[in-house]
Structure 1
């Protein structure tokens, strides 16, 4: 009996079926079924980084696929889960986690800022950090808190902040200005000081100093909006009237 030949089209169909049934190999020849395991391990690590359980991290990812992710695409997991909390207990949990995370972040930020300041003093002793246009050096080192100087925390686009700074300057007070939203940008501080009328001579002689906040306002833990005039009294920072 003469064996029947299989039609070419049938051969192609058979080959396609076999290919679909075989595991797909990645560039390093590992079956693709291993990829979900790698993703799961990455999710577990992300969850640990934020102090969350794996199911909480999964819920955060799901939330970011919905309206929250559209309105706030860069929101952090703790804030996202806190906003979308289903119970008061959940809301309190995420609030506590976020307070702890923020405290740790600020502590690291301040430690780095101190290291940066030390490095600047060692490497560029005679170079000012902030210079007002055409006026010469306008930065003087922050006077130690034990001196009792006032510290004024301000932000840009804040008329009340501008008025408070000018009022202290007109009264002849010695004070240190910290711009909370400077973004570590000297140009931004210069523009702010020039716009409101900070006198370069007072900055040069150290009566007024211009500084990046670098997390200091948050670290003080004081309540209320900016501007804030504060002074260290008995080892504690207190808002001044």
Structure 2
């Protein structure tokens, strides 16, 4: 071999090797750019999927909540926010249908669990009236029911509870000043003649007030009855 050609051949081999390495680098970078590369991006995609939304729709939701809507309604869910701020009737209808489906599924699961809870209570604690630990007059998973606020040593409270019970109304009783003591609520219910069977079936619930009556801001003496009307809790006379 002509020794004069060796430097040229060596340069050519070096160039080919460098080109191959550069191509591998480009391929790796392309692969990285084609997939979500950060936990934040993967989290956003997962959050969007939980609500039946695309990543672009989730970005629009974040944009909406970063503006005036986020100030007016800071805890608005994605579907409601997108539906309110929808730019077309078609988009508004899409978000409404997504929300109805999601809430129907949620209510079905919560009702199934409530039935299982009632059955477990009746099995493990027969004869003992269950006290609702999470019930709140400001968030009902199913249909809104009258919320009756009562207190101890209140004949009018007892009379109102009996009136609702005799009218075969499903309602929730909140004992103001119970101080979180379950037995105080049960004692009040027994003295008021609340039907244990209806409590077991969840047609009537017994609850600690936990400040709910105060949060409604209604003046006057107990008893008081509230019911949700068009998303707002209003006093029933």
What is the TM-score when the length of structure 1 is the normalising length? Answer: 0.49
Q: Normalized per residue, which structure has more helix? A: 2
What is the TM-score when the length of structure 2 is the normalising length? Answer: 0.50
Larger Rg: 2
